[in-house]
Amino acid sequence: MKWSWTIGRIAGIELRVHATFFILLAWLALADYRTTGTAIGAVRGVVFTLALFASVVLHELGHALVARRVGVPTRDITLLPIGGVARLEYMPERPRHELVIAVAGPAVTLAIVITLGILLQLLGHPITLSPDAFMSSDGNAFLAQLMWVNVTLLVFNLLPAFPMDGGRILRAVLALHLNYLRATEIAARIGRVFALLFGLVGLFYNPFLVLIALFIWMSAAAESGALHERSALGGVTVGRVMIRDIRTLQPTDTLSKALDHVLAGFQSDFPVVDGDKVVGVLTRSALLSAVARAGPSSPVSESMDTEFRAADVNEPVLRALARLRECHCLTLPVLEAGHLSGVLTAENVAEYVMIEEALHSSAHGGRGDGKPKRDSMMLGDVVPRRGV
């Protein structure tokens, strides 16, 4: 994720924190200072939040370590103001594997709750929800608060609001009986219903729920869309999707020639060839910047990107698409035996997916028949605010 930094590694998994997490800490410190009127109260609030997020890290590690156990590596764990996100490399092929991965996080949270409950019993502190158990500023009250917030976290994340844990459990159970795409659509639809409910409640009682609602809505839509994309592109090569009718430039051409191609309605990014070899790519942003800086008579060689990435005509389009997104490029030159054969853009891949889905829907009477495909999986777990 952008604006996140690595703060360490746990069990070989990169632990990252998003910039907005520090905004949360500052806001909570200010809120606790206004409530207690003391710096100690503000520090205690920040320490409590850090302890809660330590529980979230353990929760995400539960997901990650079980995923590793079934052969799915984890990219990283990122802390956000609304909780933690464990990014798995891809979606497990078997619904049973997704089920055990989704259950692992709540199981860790349950273990934390039981451990804190036993510790409080040994210390002789009540574990009821009475106000007296929370008013004290001693360590026992701190542990009691931490235990009950973890209980709330456990219950909240088990709601069937995809892509939260409960929603993933629901999707995995549905996928045992339905095809994966259909199971995802049902779980995502239920997730959106919960998002609407959280948003409505949040507008009147707690704005924090509005943020959670947005996270659920966007994440459910993104994962559903990604699965549709991978279902349509599974087994498809770059050569089937790429654009073949393209315009190229030479290093000695002027930028005015590129401008003419753009105005004529051709592609906005151009492979630059020298003889039969691709030597660079002139992107639209580089073209406009160079024209503003040096004028249209400037040679292409001074503005083209020579550190470009390329795709092979016979490689899976999913692999090339991942590379396209990783480099934040708009266009990949496609090579066949070292020679330029076409270009691949995210836009023409999206068009191909829409056409395939329309043809597939028509062939099945308007109903899809999705199959499980590998995809990046983001396990997001939200943290309820104290007092919710």
Q: Which residue has the tokens 């947005």?
A: 214
Pairing of strands 270-274, 277-282: antiparallel
Q: How far apart are CA 372 and CA 388, in angstroms?
A: 37
Please give the mean pLDDT across all residues of the chain: 86
Per-residue pLDDT, 373: 42
Is the confidence at residue 340, as pLDDT, over 70?
yes
pLDDT bucket at 370, cuts 50 / 70 / 90: very low
Q: For the chain, what are the domain ranges? A: 4-234+376-382, 238-350
Per-residue pLDDT, 127: 75
CA atoms within 13 A on the CB side of 356: 18
pLDDT bucket at 381, cuts 50 / 70 / 90: low
Amino acid in position 294: A
Q: What share of the chain is helix, strand, coil (3-state, %, to 5)?
A: 55, 15, 25
Mean pLDDT calculated for residue range 276-293: 91
Is the confidence at residue 377, as pLDDT, over 60?
no
Q: What is the CATH number of domain 238-350?
A: 3.10.580.10
Buried b vs exposed e over 346-357: b needs ≥16 C-beta within 10 Å?
eebbeebbeebb
Q: Which residue has the tokens 């309820």?
A: 384
Is the confidence at residue 361, as pLDDT, over 60?
yes
Question: How many helical (H) and strand (E) elements, i.e. helices and strands, does the chain have?
Answer: 13, 10
Q: Is 343 helix (H, G, I), strand (E, B) or coil?
A: strand
User: pLDDT by residue (tens digit) across 82-122?
Assistant: 888 888 887 787 899 999 999 999 999 999 999 999 999 99
Is the confidence at residue 369, as pLDDT, over 50?
no
CA atoms within 13 A on the CB side of 44: 19
Whole-structure pTM over 0.75, yes or no? no
User: pLDDT by residue (tens digit) across 179-203?
Assistant: 888 898 899 999 999 999 999 999 9
Tell which residue, 244, 213, 205, 220, has the closest CA to residue 167.
Answer: 220
Is the confidence at residue 248, as pLDDT, over 80?
yes
User: pLDDT by residue (tens digit) across 64-82?
Assistant: 999 999 999 998 999 988 8
Mean pLDDT calculated for residue range 346-355: 86
Range from 87-91, 134-138, 362-366 carrying the lowest mean pLDDT: 134-138
Amino acid in position 117: G
Range from 46-50, 200-204, 309-313, 367-371 carrying the lowest mean pLDDT: 367-371
Q: Which residue has the tokens 């079934």?
A: 70
Is the confidence at residue 366, as pLDDT, over 60?
no
Per-residue pLDDT, 17: 93
